[in-house]
Structure 1
């Protein structure tokens, strides 16, 4: 609000100052006759008294009388010699010849009024407004009142804009129920109505899409289960080895389809804007070792081992264990899929939270793909064979889980040669989940690794 107030005030004050300067500097030259008439009218009483006071005074006594008048107001009155009077502007001489009085604005602060006496001499009356400080106090008061008026006018506008901004931020963070509520007299109420209508339409579209995916996934579960049982029974009744092999291949396809449906249901659940389950305090080391989702047999078959580098000081953390366990399992299975022989898991406390790292010694992920791998159904390996597996949903689920924990995730190049997934999760307290606000994005500690704070929710 302060920046907006300053810009608005400077604009209004600049225009007001230009207007004042235009009136003071230009108007006397644009309207000389009106200013001259106003000055003569203002000094008409003084001019009449001056003429009466100097009536019948000879030329020799005139300087003495003028000096007597100047004792009370120094340098206000002066007598112009005929030669000096002839050097006056032509307009002034014309006014003196016509009415015996004239005025001249030397500048915006210095003015002269002239009166011709009976014997033809001209007396000049000078008045100076530059020594009146009240004038500048008045200007300062005007500008101060303008500032106060702008503050009073801007405050409700800024309040309503903040409400609209907050609603837009919550909607952008995934709260599809976020709406801006403004009073009926708000000047941006119509904009608020347009925003709410837009949010309603977007929310309906997203919700209908999610409902359609969830409904389709649920409906697919039943025929998939029937197919799986039917193929199992069929395989038990066949004697032909080729037929059994084909049935086995079909069962693998059905299992793959069942896995896809499960991934879709999980992703749909995480994308809902409702509150998370209660947060719990867990033993991090035991939790991670039990949530790898990778069996010892799989590690043996792939000739891969896991290196654990868990900081001893980081014993317990507060998380939602079910969803975080699923995210960690997805990262571990992703690492197992591409690792050549080593998977490294690390965890340590960092500023404002804790950090979990999963890396491998595989081929890594190209920098241009590190943002897109978290998109649903995006796959680095376009060949969807069982050797590589996956549907491109595992990392999307990871991102949703970390996002709902208020954390951040990004990908780096691992010292092992492969990909390095770095997750940062803020500290939480056990109990009901209070919101989805992100943790403050501070600069990392010196030992926090190369965490990129230009995070794009990769």
Structure 2
């Protein structure tokens, strides 16, 4: 949750900085520049000396008093022509200066003020400006104080935020672990979150959802297993009856013989469906995959030899090495993919395999009609079949690809589907060795 905390911390710091800027510009609009007020407060002694000592002198004593102050003060007090000072000031400051107000120059640590507007001090005093320099103005100190205030406020906000993020992060981590475990097939996984946590209501609802999903999946598994086992008994009876009929009435007329043969084919199809269904259920609830080393290249060649009557174009590298897992299960996955290609291929089926670093890539492709891009993920779902004439014409129950995907996943791999250069579908198996 470190990333979450730093994102919150950055957001808090930016918010404080933005608030400081807004406050500064608002105060500047309503009450004048805050920095100028600070500078005026720091130069209050010199302004007081000017207004209460120098300006209080009689008309003919104004300049002598100014000179006395020059002798004892570190502040440089100079008289400058009004015509030179005015163009150097901003418009608002010019108006203030003409009114006789003190105009602060914060950056220059100085201020300006007209001597007077009527020439009462001395001859030509209405055209002079008193320029005070080297004033004890230190705006940097005020800015440093504001920076410290900013840091203290940020720290006081970030400390409780860090504590909250840590507690919140633990709850999110527990929720994430539960989601991972549940997604990997542990239907009993639940999020363990303290009741005081901010995400406790969310965790409770997710646990309830997981409970319902687990119940539905378990009910589905029991239903499929029960149906599959219950179907075996009537299928066995039908097989026995057909065999008895064939034995006792070997000389059936051709029409009845075709009917009996069709019934036998239907029984075999039912047997295949039940066996595939039971095989899929076993894979879905396999506790652990037996791990034993086996050579990949011979296994692929044996799978190719089993695809009859199609001829498979082979491109199997010699350096595939060994893989740890269940060779029977992987052979079934390869066989299902080759069988699927044989159903839809027009003339060509190709199988290739290469070793890419620590990964094994097996490609099975054909020149059939292919699989639409929008349905390539759905074809791995049990009983899913494409709504095409070719799919309804081919035998199958929509379990072969589901079994292949589950078998490859148990070996730590995955299957991807795209378009083949041959014109049909290309199934690519990636397995880390």
TM tier, smaller: 0.7 to 0.9
Pair 1:164 & 2:160 matched: no
Change (3 A) 1:177 1:79: farther
Residue in structure 2 matched with residue 191 of structure 1 by the alignment:
202
Equivalent residue for 1:133, pick from 137, 140, 144: 140
Residue in structure 1 matched with residue 68 of structure 2 by the alignment:
65
Q: CA RMSD in A?
A: 4.7
Residue in structure 1 matched with residue 267 of structure 2 by the alignment:
254
Equivalent residue for 1:309, pick from 305, 315, 320: 315
Partners of 1:364 and 1:413 within 8 A in 2: no
- Secondary structure of 1:354's match? strand
Q: For 1:162 and 1:172, how far apart are their aligned partners in 2? A: 15
Change (3 A) 1:51 1:147: closer
Q: For 1:150 and 1:44, how far apart are their aligned partners in 2? A: 39
Partners of 2:289 and 2:410 within 8 A in 1: no
Partners of 2:12 and 2:154 within 8 A in 1: no
Offset at residue 138 of structure 1 (A) = 4.1
Query: Residues 241-390 of structure 1: matches in 2 within 5 Å?
Result: 241-242=252-253, 243-272=256-285, 275-291=287-303, 294=306, 299=308, 302=309, 304-340=310-346, 342-360=348-366, 362-368=367-373, 369-380=375-386, 382=389, 388-390=394-396
Pair 1:153 & 2:151 matched: no
Query: Residues 30-179 of structure 1: matches in 2 within 5 Å?
Result: 30=30, 58-71=61-74, 74-75=75-76, 131-142=138-149, 144=151, 149-150=157-158, 153-154=161-162, 155-156=165-166, 157-172=168-183, 174-179=185-190
Change (3 A) 1:103 1:14: farther
- Secondary structure of 2:62's match? coil
Residue in structure 1 matched with residue 127 of structure 2 by the alignment:
none
- Secondary structure of 2:265's match? helix
Offset at residue 228 of structure 1 (A) = 1.7
Runs of at least 5 residues in structure 1 that lack an aligned partner in the other structure: 94-101, 115-119, 428-458
Residue in structure 2 matched with residue 398 of structure 1 by the alignment:
404
Offset at residue 106 of structure 1 (A) = 7.8
Which one has the bigger helix percentage?
Answer: 2
| TM-score where L is the length of structure 2 | 0.72
Change (3 A) 1:20 1:259: same
Partners of 1:40 and 1:113 within 8 A in 2: no
Change (3 A) 1:28 1:410: closer
Offset at residue 165 of structure 1 (A) = 3.8
Offset at residue 319 of structure 1 (A) = 2.1
Q: For 1:382 and 1:176, how far apart are their aligned partners in 2? A: 38
Partners of 1:280 and 1:320 within 8 A in 2: yes
1:388-428 Cα distance to aligned partner (Å, 9 max, x none): 3211110111112222322221234445554432111112x
Offset at residue 67 of structure 1 (A) = 1.3
Partners of 1:28 and 1:105 within 8 A in 2: no
- Secondary structure of 2:365's match? strand
Partners of 2:405 and 2:415 within 8 A in 1: yes
Residue in structure 2 matched with residue 439 of structure 1 by the alignment:
none
Offset at residue 124 of structure 1 (A) = 10
Runs of at least 5 residues in structure 2 that lack an aligned partner in the other structure: 86-93, 114-119, 122-129
Q: For 1:307 and 1:228, how far apart are their aligned partners in 2? A: 38
- Secondary structure of 1:180's match? coil
- Which stretch shifts more, 143-152 or 369-378? 143-152
1:198-249 Cα distance to aligned partner (Å, 9 max, x none): 2222232233223222222122222222222232223222245144443332
1:350-393 Cα distance to aligned partner (Å, 9 max, x none): 14310122234x424144454443232233455777x7321111
Q: For 1:419 and 1:60, how far apart are their aligned partners in 2? A: 103
- Which stretch shifts more, 376-385 or 13-22? 376-385
Partners of 1:357 and 1:420 within 8 A in 2: yes
- Which stretch shifts more, 403-412 or 18-27? 18-27
1:121-178 Cα distance to aligned partner (Å, 9 max, x none): 9x99999797443444444445555665547625413454344344435544554444
Offset at residue 256 of structure 1 (A) = 0.7
1:43-62 Cα distance to aligned partner (Å, 9 max, x none): 99998899997788943431
Offset at residue 259 of structure 1 (A) = 1.0
